[in-house]
Amino acid sequence: DSGVTQTPKHLITATGQRVTLRCSPRSGDLSVYWYQQSLDQGLQFLIQYYNGEERAKGNILERFSAQQFPDLHSELNLSSLELGDSALYFCASSGFSSGESSYNEQFFGPGTRLTVL
Amino acid sequence: EDQVTQSPEALRLQEGESSSLNCSYTVSGLRGLFWYRQDPGKGPEFLFTLYSAGEEKEKERLKATLTKKESFLHITAPKPEDSATYLCAVQGNDYKLSFGAGTTVTVRA
pLDDT tens, position by position, B70-82: 999 999 999 999 9
Cis before A8? omega within 30: yes
Whether B96 sits inside 8 A of A45 (CB atoms) is: yes
Nearest-angstrom CA–CA distance, B30 and B69: 10
pLDDT tens, position by position, A17-53: 999 999 999 988 889 999 999 987 789 999 999 999 9
pLDDT tens, position by position, B3-38: 999 999 999 999 999 999 999 999 988 889 999 999
Number of residues assigned to chain A: 117
The pLDDT value recorded for residue B92 is 85
The pLDDT value recorded for residue A68 is 97
Number of residues assigned to chain B: 109
User: In a mutagenesis test of the A interface, which of B5, B46, B88 is the best target, namely the one with the most A β-carbons within 10 Å?
Assistant: B46
Residue B59 touches partner A, C-beta closer than 8 Å: no
pLDDT tens, position by position, B41-100: 899 999 989 999 999 999 999 999 999 999 999 999 999 999 999 999 998 887 788 999
pLDDT at A64 exceeding the cut of 50: yes
* B89 interaction partners in chain A (CB closer than 8 Å): 43
pLDDT category at A54 given cuts 50, 70, 90 is very high
* A44 interaction partners in chain B (CB closer than 8 Å): 99
For chain A, the average pLDDT equals 90
Hey, which bits of B3-69 come out as E strands? Answer: 3-7, 10-14, 19-26, 32-38, 45-50, 56-59, 62-66
